[in-house]
Amino acid sequence: MICYLTFIYSLLQDTRDESNETKASKMSKLKRTRKKVTKLHAFSTEIGEMDTSDSKDDSNDSTQMPTAPQLSSRMKHIKQEMAKNHLQFVRFEATDLHGVSRSKSIPAHFFQEKVIHGVYMPRGYLELIPSPKDNEVDHIRATCFNSDIVLMPELSTFRVLPWAERTARVICDTFTVTGEPLLTSPRHIAKRQLSQLQDFGFSLFSAFIYDFCIFGVPEIINSKTISLPASTLLNNHDQPFIQELVDGLYHTGANVESFSSSTRPGQMEICFLPEFGISSADNAFTLRTGVKEVARKYNYIASFFIETGFCNSGILSHSLWDLDGKKNMFCSSSGIEQLTITGEKWLAGLLKHSAAISCLMAPAVSCRKRYSKESREQKESVPTTWGYNDNSCAFNIKCHGEKGTRIENKLGSATANPYLVLAATVAAGLDGLQSTDGVFAGPEDSTDLHQPKPSEIPLKLEDALMALEEDQCLRQALGETFIRYFVAMKKYELENEETDAERNKFLEYFI
């Protein structure tokens, strides 16, 4: 990381004064710079060790650290974009535990300095619940919330925002001020799992499919007022809104494959093109902020919140490929509707850990109601289902289309953090790959074939949290620190839940 920061610093200084300096003076400045950077970044070694495995690259390998020529090219491109678009501000964005963007905006002329030193933010911004109470910080450890963290930008995510005037954004990874990665950071956890997957010789090719609702904005919004869905979105009157959203997402690097109205008035579905590595979660993170900003320009409110009668899903469609990105490891060479052995083992892992990962994918009481939407009986849990080309299943295997065989993880709700959805899916799948269990029968096959123990999805969030606490594999994969904090946070939310205000609280938070 020392070399990385030194290179960035020297590159910025050289390009700033390129026309006025001689080669000798540049070399002298570079030497002084190295000493300065070493002093300012006493924790650089620790960050460097993480970045070697976690930094994003332009290739399919999302865990390889960018080379010096790549960094040089990126910085030059960023400087050109800033000048071309007359940028005034750059947002340094990071995800909180709920998948909501938390950011600090800086004047564009400070960008070069902040690339090196990072941007400081109170840790509590990323870890507190939507409506914190006065005593909330005492629920776990007050010291966790009273410190600053550092937002360090990932330069490959720098984009000019089409929906914000003269503003760009860059997605950041989060560190403590002593240099350790923030262990509760969803993006860090996801990148760590992708690195583990790469160690097994695989890369993840994935895309999110989101439902969200568009509400008309009433003249006054308060705790007692909730607007009705904008039914006009079902006709062509709102084409400008959708066109601006899709075009804006394209210019931020998030390619939309399709969009459509969904099952209810004001409900929309948007599908992204699949990408390798962390990019699919980055695209989902971009949508969650972008759709809200564009909607407000058209006097709408966009929300991913799930309420009774609505089913806003957040599906992760994914497949495993070799490291070169040339072969889909789920595709059977026979051409029939069947998973390979690798695919079957991956699916077995998802089924085995479905109870535990469900609390990460449906992290609120209201999210879990859709698990039992077709049952009128009072149950504690429902079976985890899977099938081929069956959209009613929790894990739907699709073998048709140009994308090849892929698995749709449909446990996720639209309010779930996309980085946690990706991380939990990879962690469960990896355990399946390492399992010594045999292959299992299809959903309609003979029962005399070996099948893993039937899995169940708890309907109560409390039971799902207990399953997560007891799942040793996920505790190790996602980290003890994250698990302890996530469970404690959710238990606090449950203890302080105000049923009548829940809808308003989450609607206002997720808009």
Look at residues 190, 187, 421, 409 and name the one whose alpha carbon lies nearest to residue 318. 409
pLDDT score at 64: 59
- 269 strand-pairing partners: 211, 260
pLDDT score at 29: 42
Kindly state whether residues 193 and 340 are assigned to the same domain.
Answer: yes
5 domain residue, yes or no? no
Tell me the CATH number at 89.
3.10.20.70
Give me the mean pLDDT over the 441-450 stretch. 43
38 domain residue, yes or no? no
pLDDT score at 43: 34
251 domain residue, yes or no? yes
Kindly state whether residues 277 and 211 are assigned to the same domain.
Answer: yes
The angle subtended at Cα 121 by Cα 120 and Cα 124, nearest 5°, is: 150
Report residue 449's pLDDT band, with 50, 70 and 90 as the boundaries.
very low
CA 366 to each of CA 32, 223, 302, 469: distance values in angstroms, whole numbers, following the listed order: 57, 18, 18, 21
Give me the mean pLDDT over the 429-455 stretch. 62
Residues sharing a CB contact under 8 Å with residue 165, sequence separation 6 or more, in sequence order: 88
Look at residues 252, 373, 359, 256 and name the one whose alpha carbon lies nearest to residue 312. 373
* Region label for 65, one of left (φ > 0), alpha (ψ between -120 and 50) or beta (otherwise): beta
Strands (E), 195-330: 202-216, 256-261, 267-272, 275-276, 300-303, 314-322
Rounded-to-integer distance, Cα 93 and Cα 286, Å? 10
Kindly state whether residues 121 and 215 are assigned to the same domain.
Answer: no
134 domain residue, yes or no? yes
pLDDT score at 301: 81
Percent of the chain with pLDDT over 70: 69
Kindly state whether residues 281 and 170 are assigned to the same domain.
Answer: no
The greatest distance separating any two alpha carbons of the chain, rounded to the nearest whole angstrom, comes to 80
pLDDT digits (tens, 9 = 90+) for 462-495: 999 999 999 999 999 999 999 998 998 888 888 8
Q: Report the sign of the C-alpha dihedral through residues 63, 67, 69, 73, in that order.
A: positive
Kindly state whether residues 246 and 337 are assigned to the same domain.
Answer: yes
Most confident of 7-11, 80-84, 392-396, 418-422: 418-422
Kindly state whether residues 385 and 420 are assigned to the same domain.
Answer: yes
> Exposed, middle or buried by CB within 10 Å (0-12, 13-18, 19+), for 237?
exposed
pLDDT digits (tens, 9 = 90+) for 314-344: 999 999 999 999 999 998 776 677 899 999 9
Tell me the CATH number at 201.
3.30.590.10
Look at residues 413, 62, 39, 381 and name the one whose alpha carbon lies nearest to residue 204. 62
Residues sharing a CB contact under 8 Å with residue 261, sequence separation 6 or more, in sequence order: 233, 234, 267, 268, 269
Domain limits at 488?
189-372+379-440+453-508
Query: Between residues 159 and 261, which one has the greater pLDDT?
Result: 159
Q: How many helices (H) and strands (E) does the chain have?
A: 17, 17
Kindly state whether residues 89 and 193 are assigned to the same domain.
Answer: no
Rounded-to-integer distance, Cα 509 and Cα 511, Å? 6
Kindly state whether residues 271 and 215 are assigned to the same domain.
Answer: yes
pLDDT digits (tens, 9 = 90+) for 125-140: 888 654 444 444 444 4
156 domain residue, yes or no? yes
Residue that terminates a domain, selected from 129, 159, 182: 182
Residue that terminates a domain, selected from 133, 153, 182: 182
Weakest-pLDDT range from 88-92, 302-306, 340-344, 373-377: 373-377
Report residue 509's pLDDT band, with 50, 70 and 90 as the boundaries.
low
pLDDT digits (tens, 9 = 90+) for 242-290: 889 999 999 999 999 988 877 766 778 899 999 999 999 999 999 999 9
59 domain residue, yes or no? no
Weakest-pLDDT range from 301-305, 417-421, 505-509: 505-509
φ, ψ at 382 (rounded to 5°) = -130, 150
pLDDT score at 328: 93
Weakest-pLDDT range from 10-24, 241-255, 381-395, 495-509: 10-24
Most confident of 18-22, 74-78, 84-88: 84-88
How many alpha carbons fall within 13 Å on the CB side of residue 151?
29
Rounded-to-integer distance, Cα 118 and Cα 283, Å? 23
When computed from its CA atoms, the radius of gyration of the chain, rounded to whole angstroms, is: 23
Kindly state whether residues 276 and 309 are assigned to the same domain.
Answer: yes
Give me the mean pLDDT over the 21-29 stretch. 44
pLDDT digits (tens, 9 = 90+) for 492-507: 888 876 544 455 545 5
493 domain residue, yes or no? yes
Most confident of 23-32, 223-232, 257-266, 494-503: 257-266
Q: How many domains does the chain have?
A: 2
Q: Which two tokens stand for residue 342?
A: 């690798």
CA 260 to each of CA 208, 289, 360: distance values in angstroms, whole numbers, following the listed order: 15, 19, 27
Q: Report the sign of the C-alpha dihedral through residues 75, 76, 77, 78, in that order.
A: positive
26 domain residue, yes or no? no
Kindly state whether residues 104 and 250 are assigned to the same domain.
Answer: no
Report residue 109's pLDDT band, with 50, 70 and 90 as the boundaries.
very high
- Give helix 2-16 / helix 68-84 axis angle, nearest 10°: 40
pLDDT, the chain, mean: 77
Residue that terminates a domain, selected from 182, 197, 231: 182
Report residue 374's pLDDT band, with 50, 70 and 90 as the boundaries.
low
Burial letters 238-276, b for 16+ CB under 10 A, else e: beebbebbbebbeebebebeebebbeeebbbbbbbebbb
pLDDT score at 200: 94
Kindly state whether residues 301 and 424 are assigned to the same domain.
Answer: yes
Kindly state whether residues 251 and 363 are assigned to the same domain.
Answer: yes
**Cα dihedral 507, 372, 285, 397 in deg (nearest 10):** -160
Give me the mean pLDDT over the 379-391 stretch. 89
